[in-house]
Amino acid sequence: MTVTDVGGHETVSADEQRVRDLTDELIEAFPPATTDARTFLGEQYDRGLAWVHFDEGFGGLGLSPRLQAVINARVAAAAGPFCMLRNPIGYGMCGPTVHAWGSDDQKRRYLRPLFTCEEIWCQLFSEPGSGSDFAGLSSRGVRDGDEWIVNGQKVWTTLAHVSRWGLLVVRTDPEAVKHAGLTAFVVDMTAPGVEVRPLRQMTGEAEFNEVYFTDTRIPHDEMLGNPGDGWRVSLTTLMNERTSIGGGIPRKGSGTIATLLDVWHKLPEDRRDAAARDAVTRLWIRAEVHRLTNIRANQNRRMGDPGPEGSIGKMESANLNKAIYEQVIDLLGAEGMLYGSYEMVRPDVALFSDSLQKGFLRSRANSIEGGTTEVMQNILGERVLGLPGDVRVDRDVPWSQVPRN
């Protein structure tokens, strides 16, 4: 942690100085300008700078997760690669879950190629009948010797069409209550019986997919945790997902708000009226409050998985992005209605927009992915503010006895 005294002198903790030195040594030994991304990321992993709070030998140094921002900033300043841009589901969600719940063999097998982006990952949670009510999922896993046979359907699966591995949760005990009968697995997305179909978005692209499992066999050794641990495994994933989507700490004035300011400064003088200036200023203030709130939440997180406070960042990030892009389109006027093409495209990256208009359309997904805004409000109300929870009549009933459409 860096502390600045009243005289303006910076004091750096021993741990922070260590990661600074290790990062600088990495950049000096493997200059990003002349080193391919896979090699650079592999070296970053081997030096414990991938997820700095992970155990040594698995991409980390066992230090505070707060120090990852120090590493990322120095790598970015040197124009180095960032795994999150190419493998966002793997880096932000699946990697932390494998580290928390996987065996040492699984961690050795999966974490390094995940971080180098040699192997892309996807998350197989939501189903047509269980989105916000994730624990109500109906995809089944039945044990057959040393394997599990899986049948069912998943939906809204980002980058499933380019993924090598998936983090899958299925129901293995229908006679248990819905939260207790779930089990998590690592699934080979190239295995027989796995079918990926595109879900076309209003941007024209299909970064999302639906995935069908038909008698797909998964080795027992690919289970994360034990039978029935699926709900707890999924909480690890979801809390990391919300933090990775909305919990980042960008530089002041950067990110989506920088896009709005760029549009504002390029407007003709006669279109920069007081009302528009007031709207832009209010959004800039919201963006800065969001950034400072994330800094505070990050300081409270010492080790381990993020807590429910991560829902604050995720919810506000979604609302803020939508509001900023709405203002961008408003400032553009008639130009904001122009759109290049709705041609069907299956991108190999997610969370990316190459035009302002596409950014506006894509921002609508922010309030759904990683947990809907309504779910985030429930989490904040119940687990942060301590308000009474919703009435849940199916909580103590075996899943097989819960009425379904």
Residues involved in catalysis: 241
Tokens of 163: 């993924």
How far apart CA 187 and CA 165 sit, in angstroms, is 6
Chain center to CA of 314: 10
DSSP-derived secondary structure for 39-79: HHHHHHHHTT-SSTTSPBTTTB-S--GGGHHHHHHHHHHTT
Cβ atoms of 367 and 375 within 8 Å: the answer is no
Cβ atoms of 52 and 73 within 8 Å: the answer is no
Burial per residue of 45-69, b for 16 or more beta-carbon CB atoms within 10 angstroms, e otherwise? bebbbbbbbbeeebbbbebbbbbbe
How far apart CA 379 and CA 132 sit, in angstroms, is 12
Tokens of 62: 């066992």
